Amino acid sequence: MNRAGSRCHDHARCESMWARMKSELLYDRYDTEKMTTEELRTIIWRYFISYWNNRRICSANGGLPPMVKRQQYYDSLKEAAYEADN
């Protein structure tokens, strides 16, 4: 929250993302108190790059992982370009 009038609810999506990451990745899987900062940084980075951005099921995408939805989008662009040429 800041002087410009930001509300705590403005950050709900970000907080939700971090909570989901912690429950899916860290809790009951790793003893984070025994890990180094570099080890934590590495597993969190891999989670977001590999899983969050590519494979997780996303209800906003019709239940498709982001990677599949992106591929469908690029395929539709190729189809539209092909149809425009013919």
Q: Does residue 6 surpass a pLDDT of 70?
A: no
- Contacts of residue 32, defined as CB under 8 A and 6 or more positions apart, other chains included, come to 26, 40
pLDDT, tens digit, for every residue of 59-69?
877 888 888 88
Distance CA 55, CA 70 (A): 11
Report yes or no on whether pTM surpasses 0.75.
no
pLDDT digits (tens, 9 = 90+) for 17-38: 889 899 989 898 989 899 999 9
CB 51 within 8 A of CB 17: no
